[in-house]
């Protein structure tokens, strides 16, 4: 099984208004010539046991072997099962590499002024192996981003990639998104245990934090220019699965799946 060329899985890196001082406080400040004290934004937290209500789209980590139709929405699905959600890629077992992105967007101009903290748990229900079989994997990925379509037209945030192609020399390595490429940052032995990833993105302070199972992962504050995206300001939390690169002449390919549960996202 040939390794995937890095360029074929080139990264993608496809909301509560801050409250001002109340009218009464401003009147008091004016009468005393004192400045009104700044009011802290009230934290807003959303959460769920599965990803019901999230959006699933085809990502750009795609490949179709000779004679195969291009990857499309019929090649991916996300199943919400109450206790968790199952992201699946290459569900028709074609000779392709398919990319499932399942994400929750929050659109509001204030997103670029807030600190975002998020987390979820993920599990591989199988261990990828060179022995082959009906299930195998290319990567599991996830990230937290804020798209500033109104001003800079840059995507701000952080993301991780877990390399799961068992033919790849980087099998098990954790990579982080720099804004233009994936960069090695650690190792997580492929297994079937539940793991917890946490993210922090602060667009004002231009800082991020990333950890897996409580271990900090060195990650840069990434800025990714985008063409063809909208003019809105929107944040998004995302989970991703890319199925195994099948080879240039493949007529069949294994399915990939990853389980996600217990997500939380706080904005302040």
pLDDT in tens, 97-144: 999 999 999 999 999 999 999 999 999 999 999 999 999 999 999 999
CA distances from 87 to 129, 185, 240 (A): 19, 24, 7
Query: Mean pLDDT over all residues of the chain?
Result: 88
What is the rounded distance in angstroms from the CA atom of residue 76 to the CA atom of residue 89? 5
Predicted local distance difference test score (pLDDT) of residue 41: 66
| Residue percentage of the chain with pLDDT more than 70 | 85
Predicted local distance difference test score (pLDDT) of residue 34: 35
Q: What is the CATH number of domain 6-14+44-267?
A: 2.60.120
Main-chain dihedrals φ then ψ at residue 9, nearest 5 degrees:
-115, 40
- Where do the domains of the chain lie? 6-14+44-267
Give the residue carrying structure tokens 């009147």: 27
pTM, two decimals, is: 0.86
Query: What's the gap between Cα 116 and its chain centre?
Result: 14
Mean pLDDT of 31-49: 63
């Amino acid at each position: 099984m040939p390794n995937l060329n890095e360029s074929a899985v080139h990264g993608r890196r496809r909301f509560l208004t801050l409250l001002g001082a109340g009218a009464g406080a401003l009147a008091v400040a004016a009468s005393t010539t004192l400045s009104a004290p700044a009011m802290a934004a009230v934290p807003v937290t959303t959460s769920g046991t599965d990803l019901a209500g999230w959006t699933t789209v085809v990502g750009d980590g795609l490949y179709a072997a000779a004679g195969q139709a291009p990857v499309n929405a019929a090649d991916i699905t996300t199943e919400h099962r109450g206790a968790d959600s199952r992201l699946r890629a290459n569900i028709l077992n074609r000779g392709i590499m398919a990319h499932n992105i399942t994400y929750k967007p929050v659109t509001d101009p204030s997103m670029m002024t807030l600190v975002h903290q998020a987390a979820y748990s993920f599990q591989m229900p199988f261990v990828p192996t060179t022995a082959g079989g009906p299930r195998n994997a290319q990567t599991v990925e996830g990230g937290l981003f804020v798209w500033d379509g109104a001003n800079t037209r840059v995507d701000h945030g952080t993301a991780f990639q877990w390399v799961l192609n068992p033919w790849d020399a980087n099998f098990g390595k954790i990579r982080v998104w720099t804004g233009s490429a994936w960069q090695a940052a650690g190792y997580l032995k492929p297994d079937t245990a539940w793991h917890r990833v946490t993210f922090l993105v602060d667009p004002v302070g231009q800082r991020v934090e990333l950890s897996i199972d409580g271990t900090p992962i060195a990650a840069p504050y990434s800025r990714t220019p985008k063409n063809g995206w909208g003019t809105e300001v929107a944040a998004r939390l995302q989970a991703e699965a890319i199925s195994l690169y099948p080879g240039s002449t493949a007529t069949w390919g294994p399915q990939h799946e990853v389980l996600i549960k217990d997500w939380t996202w706080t904005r302040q």
